[in-house]
Amino acid sequence: MPEKEKLRIDKYLWAIRIFKTRTLATEACKAGRIKLNGQNIKPSHEVKIGEIYQVSKGIERKVIKITGLLENRMDAKTVVSFYIDETPIEQTQGYKSMFQAPVLKRDRGAGRPTKRDRREIDDMKDNFFDKEK
């Protein structure tokens, strides 16, 4: 297996396919979106097996535990064995439900919603988000 003793966090996050390019992984580290025990880490931080990292990527939040070191990028099926996704299920579902929310559209020229329309829209939104819980 392609394992190495010393490995940079930016290269590791790229190799396990969290980020599309190594440059994006490096920029995420510099911007403070990669944390170890709540502390920002530099792109040159050495990855160790057993460490748990918090990764923020856009609106998505992940918590990953390192189970193996991977230097080069591989196919997605192989990569899964090098880390454990410990992201809380509430965060995962919240992120996914954002893309399933109803999209409300009004006809062009219909004007602003009336008070009655607004109440109906609010009820529909409330019912949608309550049924998932």
15, part of any domain: yes
pLDDT of res. 33: 92
CATH no. for residue 80? 3.10.290.10
Q: Which amino acid is at 106?
A: R
Domain span holding position 121 = 101-133
95, part of any domain: no
Average model confidence (pLDDT) for the chain?
83
Same domain, 63 and 118: no
Same domain, 82 and 107: no
123, part of any domain: yes
Same domain, 20 and 55: yes
Q: How many domains does the chain have?
A: 2
How many Å apart are CA 63 and CA 67, to the nearest integer? 13
Q: What is the pLDDT of residues 104-127, one digit of tens each?
A: 677 888 888 889 988 888 887 776
Prediction pTM value: 0.66
How many Å apart are CA 19 and CA 25, to the nearest integer? 6
Same domain, 19 and 78: yes
94, part of any domain: no
Which residue(s) pair with 65 in the sheet? 52, 84
Handedness of CA 72, 78, 80, 82 (dihedral sign): negative
18, part of any domain: yes
Q: What is the pLDDT of residues 83-106, one digit of tens each?
A: 998 888 776 665 555 555 556 677
Residue 51 contacts residue 34 (beta carbons within 8 Å): no
